[in-house]
Amino acid sequence: MDLVITQELARAQSQQDAASLRRAYELIKSANLGKSEFDPTESFSPDLFVLCAEQALKMGQPEMSDDCIQMYFKVKGPVTQFLGRAHLCRAQLCAPKSSENLEEFENCVTQYMKAINFAKGEPRYYFLVYNASVLYWHMVRPFLKPGFHHHLISSLSQIVAVLNQTEEEDKEWRAELMLELLDCYLQAGRKEEAAKFCVTAAPFIKAHVPHRYRQMFSVLVQHELVDELQLKQEKRTSVGLSVTYDINVLKAKLDKNDLPEDVGAILKKTYKHLSYFNHQHLPSVREEK
């Protein structure tokens, strides 16, 4: 019977066939109740609950997906990757309907963290950590607004830590979440934690995602998260960092309403550096063939 259900699900996926999905779902329900039209003693894999739930979710059938997930958790199948995938389905099913509903948000985050905590202990399940982080971020983005950033810190910091622990190969994605977590710390007024986080985040981004480092450097300067002497030494390593440093020092002083008297001279010097920087990065003219 597993083969018949698998074939129906494959047809539903390849042809976006709602009728095949429905047939697979009905067969799964019958087997779960022990009333299969096939041999009732025939083995039935609990994995099929999750496979059907995932396909139903993709095809806009949340009620069917939720029913499959409930059946899966009731049968208490073996601990496999499908347990993590079931948690991911449940997390997507309970996504907040409004960015004002904090209770729904926290419930949804709990489901994502269940999937991540399950997967992080087994290298063959690391792909679930990555998938969960992407789905989680899609869910939380509406909550990135004034007064809400502090609600993301606990879960986002754990996800960043687990991606580091599992040595996720997509370093660009890890850098993206690091920068977002840093912004959450700062928006929430938790500057000490932001500075501590930068001790590891800044070197990682500089080494592995260098094209994002100027963004990190600008935050370090504007919010004074690193020793000033260290920043001054680092700005000498490139024209781009020098310009970034000057601009963000002025931003920091402007935030404190403490602009220096020689602001005009600083801007002229920065403009000169910027012109040199742009000249360096102009594409070369191709020779006529």
Q: How far apart are CA 167 and CA 22, in angstroms?
A: 40
Determine, yes or no, domain membership for 20: yes
Our count of domains for the chain comes to 1
Determine, yes or no, domain membership for 281: no
Residue type, 162: V
Determine, yes or no, domain membership for 22: yes
The pair of three-digit structure tokens given for residue 7, joined into one six-digit string: 């074939």
Structural domain including 54 reads: 1-75
pLDDT of residue 275: 61
**Given a cut of 50, is residue 282 above it in pLDDT?**
no
pLDDT tens-place string over residues 64-122: 999 999 999 998 888 999 999 999 999 999 999 888 899 999 999 999 999 999 999 99
Give the global pTM.
0.83
The pair of three-digit structure tokens given for residue 38, joined into one six-digit string: 């096939």
According to DSSP, residue 282 is labeled S
Determine, yes or no, domain membership for 55: yes
Determine, yes or no, domain membership for 157: no
Determine, yes or no, domain membership for 250: no
pLDDT of residue 76: 83
Q: How far apart are CA 160 and CA 227, in angstroms?
A: 24
Q: How far is CA 287 from CA 278, 281, 283, 284, in A?
A: 21, 18, 12, 9
Residue type, 54: E
For residues 270 and 243, the answer to whether their CB atoms sit within 8 Å is yes
Given pLDDT bands bounded at 50, 70 and 90, which one contains residue 133? very high
For residues 160 and 147, the answer to whether their CB atoms sit within 8 Å is no
pLDDT tens-place string over residues 43-66: 678 999 999 999 999 999 999 999
For residues 217 and 243, the answer to whether their CB atoms sit within 8 Å is no
pLDDT of residue 264: 64
- Average pLDDT, integer, range 186-193: 96
Q: How far is CA 9 from CA 13, 30, 125, 283, in A?
A: 6, 16, 23, 52
Determine, yes or no, domain membership for 4: yes
Q: Which helix (H) or strand (E) holds 215?
A: helix 213-222
Q: How far apart are CA 28 and CA 71, in angstroms?
A: 9
Burial of 111 (0-12, 13-18, 19+ CB in 10 A): buried
Tokens 């700005």 belong to residue: 235
Determine, yes or no, domain membership for 215: no
